[in-house]
Amino acid sequence: MTEGSQRPIAATIAVVVREGQVLLVRRANPPDAGRWGFPGGKIETGETIEQAAIRELYEETEIRGEALQTFTAVDVFDHDEHGGLRRHFILIAVLCRWCSGEPVAGDDALEARWFDLADLEDANVALSLNVSEVAWQAAAMRDDFSETL
């Protein structure tokens, strides 16, 4: 990819925190194939960020959720084997409330499951960049939402 030949791709991630646990999927496709991250994907034309987060959450995990708040964005750079930039994603994080369902891997997820927040620091868990930080930020926000509900 030549610089400036392609614009960043807008995508969303659904961050679901429930009872001290966060929902993650092990990615089947680049970027970060094989690593654990949040359910998410590209935002479709005419779809809001929140609608995309809820759709992707269900497609990848069969979890039904409710979007509460968009709260941060992170850059993800997909590089080829020579270090060249293939794609640049901007992942927009949406805090979601769990409504129903248990995680079942679907769409482009190899696995889907709940992780204890404390286990995210475990070196044996291959996480995508920024997952731990975003999860803890969401957990703090979720606590704030719980107090106001």
Residue 33 token pair? 């194939």
Q: Give me the DSSP letters along 21-86.
A: EEEEEEESSSSSTTSEE-SEEEPPTT--HHHHHHHHHHHHH--EEEEEEEEEEEEEEEE-TTS-EE
Catalytic residue status for 111: yes
Of residues 44, 81, 111, 133, which has the active-site annotation? 111
SS3 state at 115: strand
SS3 state at 89: strand
Catalytic residues: 111
